[in-house]
A and B are shown apart, each in its own frame.
Chain A
Amino acid sequence: MKKLMLGNEAVARGAYEAGVTVATAYPGTPSTEITENIAKYEGIYSEWSPNEKVALEVAIGASIAGARSICSMKHVGLNVAADPLFTVSYTGVNGGLVIMVADDPGMHSSQNEQDSRFYARAANVPILEPADSMECKDFVKEAFRISEEFDCPVIVRLTTRIAHSQSIVELGEKEEYKLKEYKKDPGKYVMMPVMAKKRHVEVEKRMARLREFSNKTGLNSIEWGNKDIGIITSGIAYQYSKEAFENASFLKLGMVYPLPTDLIVEFAREVKILYVIEELEPFIEDEIKKLGIKVIGKDVLPVTGELSANILREKLLDKQYEGKTCIEEKIPARPPVMCPGCPHRGMFYVLKKLKLTVSGDIGCYTLGALPPLESMDTCVCMGASIGMAHGMEKARGKDFAKKTVAVIGDSTFIHSGITGLIDIVYNKGTSTVIILDNSITGMTGHQHNPTSGYTIKGEPTKQVDLVKLAHAIGIERVKIADPYDIKEFEKVVKEEISTEEPSLIIAQRPCALLKHVKFEGPLRINKEKCRICRMCMRIGCPAIVDNGNYIEINEALCVGCGLCTKLCSFDAFQKAGDINGKN
């Protein structure tokens, strides 16, 4: 049967067909849907782990115990998981272990552009790169075979355009995979120096065997065409190249580390001009140059952002696109915004009003950095907000700390904020930390986490009690406040920043998009009462529209959270419908 599948869905299908029984992840765009889809298959234990490091550790455990296991993350998540990655390369596996990593060239939803292929090389782990959904499925299955044959974890790298493109997949049967026997083998699995030294030698032998394999495997293949132009490429760049150079010769790489050097030499010998076309860093290009082969690549192609067929035509063929001419007028940008009814809005309004320095983190609430709220000063990586606020205090003193807060989501706090908070307590900081507890992982599309009380399959489970947790690590001041109640929230923030001890405010209000969250329905502005003072505009709700000489609410967007009414001194807000007594 054929089905249209997202690359991520196809990866999930591949895992299912390969007989995987353990799947772990922390959600991160563009990798999230892999594990979301795996969780739909019966018989596969799936989890949202607190962070990528834990996710990989669970998968390693499952593999050593004999199961085929898969662990998924986005590129920045691989930084978090790098520690176990380098060592599992030494221990090797028992049941196959596949690590899915989704890079985000173009930074559609990431804080940096990073190229995961370097991790594969640094950790001595093979890496595969599919070019469409069908290959996503097939490569995952092949990755499990390689993992077991060569006794190593295998990374499969996606990029946004592979992970989030749908193309046709031919479904296959589920392989009957029997749990492998677990044998105690400290020499292989206990990586203390004496054993690790021996294992490193094994790793080098394995790499030599993998280099041989790379020349033979069907993952790397030559498609002969016109030999004037030869193109070495992989992943989505292959698709763009095919579009721009229909008749050229291609060496399509499915295994990008280790590279098939014999095949490359053979290919290079036959073609007149050789291009290496890859997104982000010149990873393949540099390896080929080391062989003494002349190629054209990053000297003309960009190392930033995504490629496209047009970029290739322009840079390599000197062709410009012919299309409509743009209108002269400036089209206003449309940046993402917090949803109508979002619980974070009231909080940011207060932080802005109090003119605080805000050390921010990764989540929907990062959007609080944009106008009109503009109340976030920094954002570096998952979990960094708390440690950074502490660092600011240590650099500038306690008075500065009295004008500073760290803000972090519930899921992010569990991911890696908790350790920062422990540091503050232990090292005598006085920071105020606000956990934006909206009972879900919002940004990535509503995944559960240890504070939400449900598992990935929606089953009820124990819920982390943030108050008790804070007490347990030594925070004595913990306040729960409702960010919808602006006045009260402001009072709590003022109190907590003024104290000379660490304090935690839990801003509690579920995400407006959760199904069980119900609102009263849209509001309308009574034009007779409205004085056009524009106070309500300050909360930056996308449903409130300034029409120049009157203010209006877009009823298709407004949910009726009531936040704006709290800023209006003239009682101008009414429920939509009761102005003229009809809807």
Chain B
Amino acid sequence: MEKINIMIVGVGGQGSLLASRVIGTAALKKSYDVKVSEVHGMSQRGGSVVTYVKLGKKVNSPLVEKGEADIIISFEKLEALRWIDYLRKDGRMIVNSQRINPMPVITGKEKYPENALEKIKSLCSNVIFVNALEIAKELGNIKVVNMVLIGILAKLIPIEKEIWLEALKEVVLEKYYSINEKAFKAGYNI
């Protein structure tokens, strides 16, 4: 494997930073070079957030640029559309079908795109849709949406499951490990 470029996109507060830490840590444990880039601050307050994770033999720039992403994980369906032009021509997407209205939609100034999922499908042939919020709710904690999605991603990357779980253990607080592990496995087994 030369290099895998991943983007995590979503809405501030959905836990994408933690998710990127898990991927980065797993990659390190697998002895890849890895870079993770994120922007803190304003974007955490419910704004659009994007995190780049690049792993491979040698990584220079921490950014994934237009047309370069091998995989995009979108924590929200509108965000998937916003960032889709970062996807490589034959890239893959994992899309959480959750909808969170941006403020201009809430105030009625703009419209949330109709049929977002169909549009994504028409632009990307290799896409996995999942209702991660529902899965997380069933597990008893809506905060683990992120780990469900990481579980799905884990299968697409040449890193063993045990390594992922070790990384998870290192990154999340001990008292939340078991719920996160369940969420990860739920995603992994989809």
Instruction: Tell which of A242, A323, A444, A542 has the most Cβ of chain B within 10 Å.
Output: A323
Q: Can you name the residue of chain A whose Cβ is closest to the Cβ of B122? A: A327
Query: Chain A contacts of B24 at CB under 8 A?
Result: 4, 166
Query: Chain A contacts of B63 at CB under 8 A?
Result: 161, 240, 308-309
B119 in complex: contacting residue of A32, A329, A337, A537, CB < 8 Å? A329
Give Cα distance in the complex from A132 to B21, angstroms.
Answer: 17
Question: Are A321 and B66 also in contact (CB < 8 A) when A331-B78, A332-B102, A545-B106 are?
Answer: yes
Instruction: Tell which of A336, A364, A554 has the most Cβ of chain B within 10 Å.
Output: A336
Instruction: Tell which of A108, A165, A166, A540 has the most Cβ of chain B within 10 Å.
Output: A166
**Is B47 within 8 A of A327, CB to CB?**
no
Q: Determine whether A19 belongs to the interface, using a CB cutoff of 8 Å to chain B.
A: no
Chain B 21-51 interface residues, beta-carbon cutoff 8 Å to A: 21, 24-25, 28, 33-48
Chain B nearest Cβ from A554, distance in angstroms:
7
A335 in complex: contacting residue of B37, B84, B103, CB < 8 Å? B103
**Is B46 within 8 A of A108, CB to CB?**
no
Query: Chain B contacts of A242 at CB under 8 A?
Result: 60-61
Chain B 142-164 interface residues, beta-carbon cutoff 8 Å to A: 142
**Is A327 within 8 A of B62, CB to CB?**
no
Give Cα distance in the complex from A117 to B38, angstroms.
Answer: 24
Chain B nearest Cβ from A235, distance in angstroms:
12
Query: Chain A contacts of B34 at CB under 8 A?
Result: 4, 166-168
Question: Are A327 and B41 also in contact (CB < 8 A) when A167-B35, A309-B61, A554-B100 are?
Answer: no
Chain A 218-241 interface residues, beta-carbon cutoff 8 Å to B: 236, 239-240
**Is B89 within 8 A of A323, CB to CB?**
yes
**Is A367 within 8 A of B119, CB to CB?**
no
Q: Can you name the residue of chain A whose Cβ is closest to the Cβ of B60? A: A242
Give Cα distance in the complex from A372 to B108, angstroms.
Answer: 10
Query: Chain B contacts of A243 at CB under 8 A?
Result: 60-61
Query: Chain B contacts of A166 at CB under 8 A?
Result: 20-21, 24, 34-37
Chain B nearest Cβ from A180, distance in angstroms:
36
Q: Determine whether B87 belongs to the interface, using a CB cutoff of 8 Å to chain A.
A: yes
Give Cα distance in the complex from A537 to B25, angstroms.
Answer: 42
6 inter-chain pairs at a CB distance below 8 angstroms, sorted by A residue, are A168-B34, A321-B65, A323-B67, A333-B104, A334-B46, A554-B101
With contacts A329-B119, A337-B103 known, what are 6 further pairs, Cβ within 8 A?
Answer: A165-B37, A310-B66, A332-B78, A332-B105, A332-B112, A443-B42
**Is A324 within 8 A of B89, CB to CB?**
yes
What 3 A-B pairs have minimum CB-CB distances, sorted nearest first? Answer: A323-B67, A109-B41, A336-B47
Q: Can you name the residue of chain B whose Cβ is closest to the Cβ of A329? A: B113
Q: Determine whether A371 belongs to the interface, using a CB cutoff of 8 Å to chain B.
A: yes
**Is B61 within 8 A of A239, CB to CB?**
yes
Q: Determine whether B109 belongs to the interface, using a CB cutoff of 8 Å to chain A.
A: yes
0 or 1 for each of A297-319: is its CB under 8 Å from B? (1 = yes): 00000000000111000000000
Give Cα distance in the complex from A329 to B84, angstroms.
Answer: 13
**Is B65 within 8 A of A309, CB to CB?**
yes
Chain A 521-561 interface residues, beta-carbon cutoff 8 Å to B: 537, 540, 542, 544-546, 554, 556-557
Q: Determine whether B12 belongs to the interface, using a CB cutoff of 8 Å to chain A.
A: yes
**Is A161 within 8 A of B37, CB to CB?**
yes
Query: Chain B contacts of A338 at CB under 8 A?
Result: 45
Query: Chain B contacts of A322 at CB under 8 A?
Result: 67, 89
Q: Determine whether A345 belongs to the interface, using a CB cutoff of 8 Å to chain B.
A: no
Q: Can you name the residue of chain A whose Cβ is closest to the Cβ of B137? A: A556
Chain A interface (Cβ < 8 Å from any Cβ of B):
2-4, 29-30, 32-33, 108-109, 132, 160-161, 164-168, 236, 239-240, 242-243, 308-310, 321-327, 329-339, 364, 367, 370-372, 443-445, 537, 540, 542, 544-546, 554, 556-557
Query: Chain B contacts of A334 at CB under 8 A?
Result: 11, 46-48, 78-79, 82, 102-103
**Is B133 within 8 A of A337, CB to CB?**
no
Give Cα distance in the complex from A310 to B87, angstroms.
Answer: 14
Q: Can you name the residue of chain B whose Cβ is closest to the Cβ of A338? A: B45
Give Cα distance in the complex from A326 to B103, angstroms.
Answer: 22
Give Cα distance in the complex from A333 to B43, angstroms.
Answer: 12
Q: Determine whether B111 belongs to the interface, using a CB cutoff of 8 Å to chain A.
A: yes
Q: Determine whether B189 belongs to the interface, using a CB cutoff of 8 Å to chain A.
A: no
**Is A165 within 8 A of B40, CB to CB?**
no
Chain A nearest Cβ from B85, distance in angstroms:
5
Q: Determine whether B86 belongs to the interface, using a CB cutoff of 8 Å to chain A.
A: yes
Chain B 115-151 interface residues, beta-carbon cutoff 8 Å to A: 119, 123-124, 133, 142
**Is A367 within 8 A of B28, CB to CB?**
no
Question: Are A4 and B36 also in contact (CB < 8 A) when A108-B42, A331-B113, A443-B41 are?
Answer: yes
Query: Chain A contacts of B85 at CB under 8 A?
Result: 323-326
Question: Are A327 and B89 also in contact (CB < 8 A) when A164-B40, A337-B46 are?
Answer: no
Query: Chain B contacts of A167 at CB under 8 A?
Result: 33-36, 59, 62
B66 in complex: contacting residue of A323, A337, A367, CB < 8 Å? A323
**Is B28 within 8 A of A168, CB to CB?**
yes
Question: Are A323 and B87 also in contact (CB < 8 A) when A240-B61, A332-B112 are?
Answer: yes
Give Cα distance in the complex from A223 to B13, angstroms.
Answer: 42
Q: Determine whether B4 belongs to the interface, using a CB cutoff of 8 Å to chain A.
A: no
Q: Determine whether B182 belongs to the interface, using a CB cutoff of 8 Å to chain A.
A: no
Q: Determine whether B179 belongs to the interface, using a CB cutoff of 8 Å to chain A.
A: no
Q: Determine whether B2 belongs to the interface, using a CB cutoff of 8 Å to chain A.
A: no
Chain A nearest Cβ from B150, distance in angstroms:
15
Query: Chain A contacts of B109 at CB under 8 A?
Result: 371
Give Cα distance in the complex from A333 to B48, angstroms.
Answer: 8
Chain A nearest Cβ from B104, distance in angstroms:
5
**Is B103 within 8 A of A371, CB to CB?**
yes
A544 in complex: contacting residue of B78, B106, B112, B133, CB < 8 Å? B106
**Is B40 within 8 A of A327, CB to CB?**
no
Chain A nearest Cβ from B66, distance in angstroms:
5
Question: Are A545 and B101 also in contact (CB < 8 A) when A324-B85, A445-B44 are?
Answer: yes
Give Cα distance in the complex from A326 to B78, angstroms.
Answer: 13
**Is A327 within 8 A of B42, CB to CB?**
no
**Is A370 within 8 A of B42, CB to CB?**
no
Question: Are A324 and B84 also in contact (CB < 8 A) when A309-B63, A339-B45 are?
Answer: yes
Give Cα distance in the complex from A338 to B44, angstroms.
Answer: 10
Q: Can you name the residue of chain A whose Cβ is closest to the Cβ of B124? A: A324
A540 in complex: contacting residue of B47, B48, B62, B103, CB < 8 Å? B103
Chain A nearest Cβ from B137, distance in angstroms:
9
0 or 1 for each of B74-98: is its CB under 8 Å from A? (1 = yes): 0000110110111111000000001
Query: Chain B contacts of A367 at CB under 8 A?
Result: 45
Query: Chain B contacts of A32 at CB under 8 A?
Result: 40
Chain B nearest Cβ from A146, distance in angstroms:
27
A557 in complex: contacting residue of B65, B87, B100, CB < 8 Å? B100
**Is A537 within 8 A of B65, CB to CB?**
no
Query: Chain A contacts of B111 at CB under 8 A?
Result: 332
**Is B47 within 8 A of A335, CB to CB?**
yes
Chain B nearest Cβ from A252, distance in angstroms:
12
Query: Chain A contacts of B38 at CB under 8 A?
Result: 164-165
Give Cα distance in the complex from A32 to B41, angstroms.
Answer: 10
